[in-house]
Amino acid sequence: MIFVSEEESARLITHELAFSAVRAALIAAASDDSRVFPAVLGRACDPVNTFSVKSGSTAGLTGLKVGSFWSRNPEAGLPRHNSAIILLDQASGRLRAVIEAGRVNAYRTAAADAVAAELLARPDAETLALFGAGNQARHELSALRRIRPIKRVYVIARSASRAGALIRELQDEGLEAMPATAEEACRAADIIVTATPAREPLFEAQWVRPGTHVASMGSDAPGKQELPPQLFASARLFCDLPSQSTMIGEFQHVRAQIEAGALVLGQLGAALDGRIPGRVTSDEITVFDSSGISIQDLYIGQMIVDAVS
């Protein structure tokens, strides 16, 4: 059995590796060869601490990812989020590999954003509205800068100190970065990314201008919500996995409309594979919901194992 520690997986992960793994995983997830099972959401003895179990199988890979959120960890100098990927042996079902993947998970999440943006954001997109100023927001921006010429970043966050720290960091990197209201940022943005634990829309639909690409990265449990549902009727809609996105992702809030056919929800992997169109015109609004699927974890876990073997 192979064990990869957090320190080793963090040393090995890159945005390039994560992008490659996640792109392949999203295509696989849209095929008939993959299975993604319903996410299990739980709470620890202290109910403020939560965890999720996401499992699946695809060609040559079977396993699961356990993600945890321990809210008081920063008081002990530890990150709130942790993650572990477990790969099973195909012949025996025994443990084949265990990968501690806290940082890997942040790269994986950001890679899904970048893969979607490469297909759905306009090639000339250079202005980003970034909701959230935490660790994940930094990864989202880094991943996006690899595939789009981001020059300007508007930061919208509840914590002025965290927003200020992120803005200074981005300015040091040569970006034009500034705080903004949600309306100011959305009206100026080519890409809008939300990376928050919000439970109500962060902005209004009429603030989003034609040609904008919108990505919700934070909705991954019942009740979470970042985007205004009024936006969806005038946009083209995509997600990582429809069955999960309509249960715990952003599109849970319009599940009835999707099931009735009033809204059309496309699977990103099918668009990446050319079976459905991605962005068609420069002035359409595109929306991507990333609820985070197990196939992504299996692919990126295997790439980490390959790197240490």
Q: Which residues, other chains included, contact 281 with Cβ-Cβ below 8 Å and sequence gap of 6+? A: none
CA angle, 223 as apex, 220 and 225 as ends, to 5°?
70
Task: Supply the pLDDT for residue 80.
Answer: 87
Contact 27, 273 (CB under 8 A): yes
Report whether pLDDT(135) > 90.
Answer: no
* pLDDT (average), residues 77-81: 88
Distance, CA of 306 to CA of 308 (rounded, Å):
6
Per-residue pLDDT of 30-45, as tens digits, reads 999 999 999 999 999 9
Per-residue pLDDT of 139-186, as tens digits, reads 999 999 999 999 999 999 998 999 999 999 999 999 999 999 999 999
Reading phi first (left if > 0) and then psi (alpha if -120 to 50, else beta), residue 62 is in beta
Per-residue pLDDT of 88-105, as tens digits, reads 999 999 999 999 999 999
Residue whose entry in the numeric block shows the structure tokens 């991507």: 288
Distance, CA of 130 to CA of 141 (rounded, Å):
8
- DSSP class of residue 39 equals P
Q: How many CA atoms lie within 13 A of 154 on its CB side?
A: 20
* pLDDT (average), residues 212-230: 96
Tokens coding 133: 């100023």
Going by pLDDT thresholds of 50, 70 and 90, the confidence category of residue 4 is very high
Collapsed DSSP state (helix, strand, coil) of residue 267: strand
In this structure, which amino acid lies at residue 206? Q
Task: Supply the pLDDT for residue 5.
Answer: 97
Q: Which residues, other chains included, contact 82 with Cβ-Cβ below 8 Å and sequence gap of 6+? A: 67, 68, 70, 100, 102
Report whether pLDDT(309) > 90.
Answer: no
Contact 140, 106 (CB under 8 A): no
Distance, CA of 147 to CA of 128 (rounded, Å):
13
| Domains of the chain and CATH, by start | 2-105+295-308 (3.30.1780.10), 121-292 (3.40.50.720)
Per-residue pLDDT of 195-220, as tens digits, reads 999 999 999 999 999 999 999 999 98
Per-residue pLDDT of 102-133, as tens digits, reads 999 999 999 999 999 999 999 999 999 999 99
More confident residue, 59 or 64: 64
Tokens coding 136: 């994940």
Task: Supply the pLDDT for residue 74.
Answer: 87
